Amino acid sequence: MPQYMLLLHSDPANWQNLSPEEMQKATEKYMAWSKKPFTRDGKRLADDAGRVIRSDHGKPRTTDGPYSETKEILGGYYTIEAASYDEAVKLSLDHPHLEVGGTIEVRQVWGS
């Protein structure tokens, strides 16, 4: 079965005004989703912009990035199994991340 990566982008400012109760509800929804039978793996990434290393005329140059100009960060990823892109998207439509203004990027793992 092909594997797909779901890259969860979000603007941390979206979370700032949530109440403890709302944060608990969101946490429970996320956790319930990550227990679905088609999810294989998931990791949280540190909540900073990260680093990007580019080749600058043959010399590596490191910057904060990749999106230092936007507030969105890549917060974490899941790996899921799906028959096709269409199915992968369909399975992700009810992800709670979308309810809180987040973005999900779906990419197929090559060769899977």
Which residues here bind other proteins, judged by CB under 8 A?
12, 15-24, 26-35, 42-44, 47, 75-76, 78
Question: Min. distance of Cβ 100 from other proteins in angstroms?
Answer: 9
> Is 100 within 8 Å of 69 (Cβ atoms)?
no
- Rounded Cα distance, 2 and 78, in Å: 14
Between 63 and 103, name the residue whose CB sits nearer to other proteins: 103
Residue 15 dihedral angles phi and psi, to the nearest 5° = -90, -20
Question: Min. distance of Cβ 104 from other proteins in angstroms?
Answer: 13
- Rounded Cα distance, 99 and 112, in Å: 29
Between 67 and 77, name the residue whose CB sits nearer to other proteins: 77
Between 24 and 84, name the residue whose CB sits nearer to other proteins: 24
Question: Min. distance of Cβ 97 from other proteins in angstroms?
Answer: 9
> Is 4 within 8 Å of 106 (Cβ atoms)?
yes
